[in-house]
Amino acid sequence: MSASLARREPVSVVLADETDFAGFRRAARALAAQGVPPEAVMWFTATDACNALFATQASVFAEPGKTAAVAVPATFVALCETVVQHDDPQRFALLYRLLWRLQHEPSLRHDPLDADVLLARQMARAVRRDQHKTTAFVRFRPLNDGSAGPLHVAWFEPSHHTVEAVAPFFMRRFANIRWAILTPRRSVRWEPASAALPEGRLVFGPGARKEDTPLADAGEALWLTYYANIFNPARLKLRMMEKEMPRKYWRNLPEAELIAPLAAAATERSGRMVAEAPTTPRRKVVTLARAPTPNGPAQTLEALNAMAQRCRECPIGEHATQAVVGQGPREPLLMFVGEQPGDQEDLRGQPFVGPAGQLFDRALAELGVARDTVYVANAVKHFKYEMRGKRRIHKTPAQREAAACAHWLEDEIRLVNPAALVALGATAARSLMGEAVAVTRERGQWQRRADGRPVLVTLHPSALLRADPAGHQQAWADWLADLRCALDPPKLLVRS
Ligand code: URA
């Protein structure tokens, strides 16, 4: 088949390998620019060997004049990078269809409930889960292959094409040892830095067989003894354990063979533990239920401010100068929620006026948003700190303190009635969503609260202040990209 794009008959594209994101991106851009509709494109990877014979190699799209810029949200690119790792053969078709629809249906950007969008998000979640399981359940066994030190080899069976994505994690974690991860579809080997190879090197190769991994050794026996000793029968929740560590992973986990006998003996062992005298004092368990506002919810923001000033539902209020409630117009497009006031906010009684606030203002300015058009608030209304010399140093509020403050924030949201919310950091995200949110994983994506309001989660500005200086520029650009998404929120389901 000719590589010409100026045609309307079906186009078959073959990508270099299962996770050829660059190839997909190039081909998809070129096809979209040439107006080739999704139903006219068939996607293959080089492993679909016979189909590949008749298809257009994705590399031809790299030829001059064949590519074109196609404008899509930054989050879509990130979504594609993750979804291409999914095992579903239809993933490239789905992503190209989404790209096409983003060009032809502007409303798609505001519709997080669209079936294609939901499917792609679901696939991305499955991929991230698989990456996480790989980092958690890979077990290396040393193999003496005649070199100076042993080669640590692990056999693993991921559900998706995630080996490339997780390899850098193992590279950072085990930088100084030689290791290899073998999987049925792909393998990767790490050669640590040496005189000949100052940076070290990751080498990817084809899939392998389980028989290629070494057998258990003495080190593994030691690990099993340790595992049996730290196993706490009173904590055993088999159902939870299987959820976190699905049985399909057990066959490659050395400790899995201990689970059944230890679980069988758990009832009797935990009975013994209960009967024995405690060795440490019991800690009081505090429930984190959200309390309603005492004396009923505030009816105006002024009333809310006055009530929050008197709040002593947790100990923080006792030491702060004042409660700092939010500032900004009612019914704004966006309400930004930070963690808690800092030193300067506590003294001035206004949110985000210290160093983190300056960064925030700079970001708004770069996005062309006037600060007085958005509402800015905090999840926790008082400043929590510890004294170091004469300085008051920020302390992260405890979960129960944020939970105690949640009703003030809820009242504020009801009274301000923003179209959408932006959670700056983990404390805000937890307070807004009512459960922990993995900010680095979920950043830049719209979620929906129980009240129907969309919430975009991103980093707190002070996380940028703490970022490694070498990565500042990138961190800043990424943060701006998240905030830019916030300017384009999906529609509110319910606006009270
Ligand atoms: N950090 C926050 O989360 N909020 C502020 O108001 C200031 C710093």
Q: What is the mean pLDDT of residues 385-405?
A: 91
Q: What is the mean pLDDT of residues 307-336?
A: 96
Query: Across the chain, which distance is largest between two alpha carbons, in Å?
Result: 81
Q: What is the mean pLDDT of the chain?
A: 84
What is the per-residue pLDDT for 320? 95
Choosing from 460, 464, 465, 466 the residue with most ligand 1 atoms within 8 A of its CB, the one to mutate for a pocket test is 460
| Alpha carbons 431 and 429: distance in angstroms, whole number | 5
Q: Cα–chain-centroid distance for residue 281? A: 37
For residue 100, the tally of other CB atoms under 10 A from its CB is 20
Which residue, among 361, 375, 445, 454, has the nearest Cα to 409 in the 3D structure? 375
What would the pLDDT profile of 323-370 be if each residue is shown by its tens digit? 999 999 999 999 999 999 999 999 999 999 998 998 899 999 999 999
Choosing from 462, 465, 466 the residue with most ligand 1 atoms within 8 A of its CB, the one to mutate for a pocket test is 462
User: C-alpha distances in angstroms, 302 versus 404, 411, 496?
Assistant: 20, 12, 20
Is the distance from CB of 1 to CB of 56 less than 8 angstroms?
yes
- Which strand (E) or helix (H) includes residue 77? helix 74-83
HSE-CB for 64 with a 13 A CA cutoff: 0
| Alpha carbons 484 and 461: distance in angstroms, whole number | 15
HSE-CB for 455 with a 13 A CA cutoff: 24
Choosing from 352, 430, 439 the residue with most ligand 1 atoms within 8 A of its CB, the one to mutate for a pocket test is 352
Amino acid at 201: R
Q: Cα–chain-centroid distance for residue 100? A: 26
Kindly provide the b/e burial profile for residues 234-257, where b requires at least 16 CB atoms within 10 angstroms of the residue's own CB.
eebeeeeeeeebeeebeebbebbe
Helix axes 355-367, 472-486, angle to 10 degrees: 60
Query: What strands, in cross-sheet order, belong to the sheet with 11-15?
Result: 41-45, 11-15, 56-57
- Which strand (E) or helix (H) includes residue 404? helix 399-416
Q: What is the mean pLDDT of residues 376-389?
A: 94
Kindly provide the b/e burial profile for residues 207-221, where b requires at least 16 CB atoms within 10 angstroms of the residue's own CB.
ebeeeebbeeeeebe
Cβ of residue 342 lying under 6 Å from some atom of ligand 1:
yes
Residue spans per domain, the chain: 3-130, 138-212, 225-271, 301-493
Maximum average pLDDT range among 176-180, 212-216, 305-309? 305-309
Which residue, among 124, 98, 108, 104, has the nearest Cα to 41 in the 3D structure? 98
- Whats the size of the chain, residue-wise? 496
Helix axes 115-137, 74-83, angle to 10 degrees: 60
Cβ of residue 131 lying under 6 Å from some atom of ligand 1:
no
What is the per-residue pLDDT for 4? 47
Cβ of residue 357 lying under 6 Å from some atom of ligand 1:
yes
At 136, is the pLDDT very low, low, confident or very high (cuts 50, 70, 90)?
A: confident
Is the distance from CB of 93 to CB of 38 less than 8 angstroms?
yes
At 430, is the pLDDT very low, low, confident or very high (cuts 50, 70, 90)?
A: very high
**CATH, domain range 301-493:** 3.40.470.10
At 99, is the pLDDT very low, low, confident or very high (cuts 50, 70, 90)?
A: very high
What is the per-residue pLDDT for 107? 87
At 154, is the pLDDT very low, low, confident or very high (cuts 50, 70, 90)?
A: confident
| Alpha carbons 265 and 236: distance in angstroms, whole number | 11
Cβ of residue 397 lying under 6 Å from some atom of ligand 1:
no
Q: What is the mean pLDDT of residues 419-447?
A: 95
Cβ of residue 418 lying under 6 Å from some atom of ligand 1:
no
- Which strand (E) or helix (H) includes residue 346? helix 343-348
Q: How far apart are the first and last CA of the chain?
A: 58
The burial of 184, by beta-carbon neighbours within 10 Å (0-12 exposed, 13-18 middle, 19 or more buried), is given as middle
Is the distance from CB of 307 to CB of 381 less than 8 angstroms?
no
At 496, is the pLDDT very low, low, confident or very high (cuts 50, 70, 90)?
A: very low
| Alpha carbons 66 and 59: distance in angstroms, whole number | 10
Name the DSSP class of 39: G
What is the per-residue pLDDT for 255? 65
The tokens of 200 are what?
């070290």
Q: What is the mean pLDDT of residues 295-310?
A: 93
The more confident residue out of 145 and 182 is 182
The pTM of this model reads 0.48
Cβ of residue 404 lying under 6 Å from some atom of ligand 1:
no
Q: Cα–chain-centroid distance for residue 12? A: 34
Is the distance from CB of 489 to CB of 419 less than 8 angstroms?
yes
Q: What is the mean pLDDT of residues 368-388?
A: 95
What would the pLDDT profile of 271-293 be if each residue is shown by its tens digit? 666 666 555 544 444 444 566 77
Cβ of residue 346 lying under 6 Å from some atom of ligand 1:
no
What would the pLDDT profile of 239-264 be if each residue is shown by its tens digit? 776 777 777 776 676 666 666 666 76
| Alpha carbons 324 and 462: distance in angstroms, whole number | 18
| Alpha carbons 454 and 335: distance in angstroms, whole number | 11
What is the per-residue pLDDT for 72? 85
What would the pLDDT profile of 9-30 be if each residue is shown by its tens digit? 688 898 988 999 999 999 999 9
What would the pLDDT profile of 198-236 be if each residue is shown by its tens digit? 999 999 988 888 777 666 554 455 455 555 655 666 666
Using only C-alpha atoms, what is the Rg of the chain? Answer: 27
Is the distance from CB of 459 to CB of 425 less than 8 angstroms?
yes
The tokens of 380 are what?
């926790």
